[in-house]
């Protein structure tokens, strides 16, 4: 999932940081 979000480097990037 992180890889898919990584492609959307933008608003989702912030969500990934919170998830990790």
- 4 close to 19: Cβ distance less than 8 angstroms: no
Mean pLDDT across 5-14? 63
Q: pTM of the prediction?
A: 0.13
Is the pLDDT at 11 greater than 60? The verdict is yes
The answer on pLDDT for 17 being more than 60 is no
pLDDT tops 60 at residue 5: no
Residue 2: the pLDDT is: 59
pLDDT at 12: 64
Tally the residues of the chain: 20
**Confidence (pLDDT) at 16:** 58
């Amino acid at each position: 999932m992180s890889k898919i979000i990584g492609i959307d480097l933008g608003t989702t990037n912030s969500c990934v940081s919170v998830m990790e």
